[in-house]
Structure formats: C-alpha cells, structure tokens
Amino acid sequence: MVVVRGANAAQHVHPARNSGVPFDASWLDVLRVNQSAVERRTATLGTRRSVKKDAQAAWLLKAVTCIDLTTLNGDDTEGRVRRLCAKARRPVRADLLDALGFDPGAITTGAVCVYHRFVAAAVDALRGSGIPVAAVSTGFPAGLIPHPFKLKEIEASVGDGAAEIDIVVTREHVLTGNWQALYDEVRDFRAACGAAHLKAILATGDIRTLSNIAKASMVCMMAGADFIKTSTGKEGVNATLDVSLVMARMIREYRERTGARVGFKPAGGVSTAKSVLAYQILMKEELGRPWLEPDLFRIGASSLLADIERQLEHHVSGRYSAFNRHPVA
C-alpha cells in the first residue's frame, strides 16, 4: 500500500534546489522524439497496470497529497480563496478518513495555487498547516507583459509569502527556436524567486510539437527550474499523457547529466480519479517512487478532488453519490 503524508507531519519540505547549469546548445542537438513510440507507450499505461480496492484507495489518497488545489478565475474573491484553503486543510471528509483508518485532518493537499492578488490571504488562511502557497506569475496565462513587470510580480508574490512561483515562459522563444532567450528569461525568474521554488509552465498546447516540448523542458531545467509544468489550464489542449511522458524523460535525462531532481506537474484536464492514476503510474514507471511524493509531483486541479472523494466514498460504502455532494470548497 502507498504511504500517504499526514498533515501532522513535519513542515512541508522541498528537495534540494536545482541550481541549473550554464546554457549548452549541444544538449538540445541530440534530443529526438519518436511520436509513434510515445503514443504506443502511453496507450499501455491504463492497460498493463490494474489498481483496485484498498490499493486504489491508497493511491487516490496519495494523489490528494499531491494536488495543487487551484482557483484561477476572473471572479475569484478572498472569501472563495479562504474556503479553498479550508478544503486544502481537510480535503477528504472525516467520516471517510475514519473508515479508511486515518485521523481527521491526516491528509492535506500539496499546495494552494492562486493569483498574486490572493497570496497574502491564502498564507494567512493556511498558517500553521505546513501547506505552501503557490502563485501564478509573469503575466499568467499569456506571459506577454514586459519582462521587468514579470520580475516585479514574482518579487511581490514572494514578499507576500508565496513559497512557490508558477511562471509562464514566452512561447515565441520556443516557437522560433531562440533557446538562449528562453534560458536567459527563466534564469532571471529563478533569481527573482529567491528562496521560493520555481515551477516553469511550458504551455505545451501552444508550443505544439513534442520536439519543442522536449527542448523547452531541458532549457528550463538548465536555467534552474525546480519543477516543469505542462500547462496553464487555459490553453485549448492542456496536460496529456504524451507530453507528460516526454517531459518525464527529459527530467530523467537532466538528472543523469547533473544529479539534480526536478519535479513534474501536469495541469489542466486531470479531472477524474481514473486519469490521475495513469499519471501516477507514469511517474512510478518512468522516474521512480520519489516522484509519487508532493516534493517532486504535483497535479494542478480543482474538480479532481471532488471525484477522488466520490471514489473513496464508493470504496467505503459500495455506493456512488452525486458529484455535487463533494464540493471543492
């Protein structure tokens, strides 16, 4: 059975930072992606492994601890953010946890992710919980504001208490193959983060090809990204298993070259318990057991939590309840 992290454990601890390496274009020259092979590999993830009953419940509880519980809507309010933080502290109903052998409050989400406007409120609402606040930054989701403003936004969120900064890269750098510019941009973001961890959003639905995704992943890690993330959740196509496999392979390649561990975050479209199990299996098979923990694996999600809780209720009671009985916050 998968062991889950409890809320009463030590304060959330990140792994050693990825300090990055000097830009080296030769690392990109050798990268090749066989799309047919990627598709064949991901097609087997849901068929070669079967996770059922108690094991499935354990994997789903583990997934809860890796969720970046997120609200990134134009109509967000401080009240909504505080409710989200309360759900992050107690993401699974106490009666279900009791039936599964856990104390109330034994499970928390991996983080809460909000716009800069709500960072201070989220930090206040989560005080004492050990749950970090992640702020989307750098002109999220398009990333088209002036570069100095991007740096100021990062600094402001860190100043308000964000422990993690989810930045968006300039897609034009990727689409035109200007890898030095992408490296320099992310390197500046890394410096502006200070002690906060940097999660680089590639917006894979916008940069289109698996080759672009592989190279952008490598450049962001070279520049010091602590996590690479698929999407903003606002693109036409967000997280998929195909792009996630390519990014996981780049994480593995980077670790072999540098010894540094970089985390991975699929975001957008991971909305069901069944889908999150496929991502967990991908992490376990491609990167190993450490990438099932929240210090190296996060899931950007909002509605996912409700479906996981619904599946856990079915495991306990044998009956499915209505989705609307399991609100996110």
Instruction: Decide the pairing of beta strands 164-168 and 133-137.
Output: parallel
75 is known as an active-site residue = no
- The one catalytic residue among 62, 87, 215, 265: 265
Residue 306's alpha-carbon distances to 98, 129, 254, in angstroms, are 18, 21, 35
From the candidates 87, 229, 242, 307, give the one annotated as an active-site residue: 229
Residue 321, phi-psi category: left (phi > 0), alpha (psi -120 to 50), beta (remainder) = beta
Cα distances from 238 to residues 91, 233, 244, 314, in angstroms, run 24, 6, 10, 29
Contact assessment for residue 322 and residue 287, using Cβ atoms and an 8 Å cutoff: no
Kindly list the distances between the CA atom of residue 148 and the CA atoms of 22, 165, 198, in Å, as whole numbers in the listed order: 22, 16, 17
Place of tokens 């992310």: 186
In which region does residue 224 sit, left (phi positive, over 0), alpha (psi from -120 to 50) or beta (all else)? left
Q: Which amino acid is at 9?
A: A
**Bridge pairing between strands 67-70 and 197-201:** unpaired
Tokens read off for 218: 């490598």
Which residue among the candidates 160, 166, 206, 226 is catalytic per the annotation? Answer: 166
What are 299's strand-pairing partners? 67
229 as an active site residue: the answer is: yes
Answer yes or no: 53 catalytic.
Answer: no
Q: Which positions are annotated as active-site residues?
A: 166, 229, 265
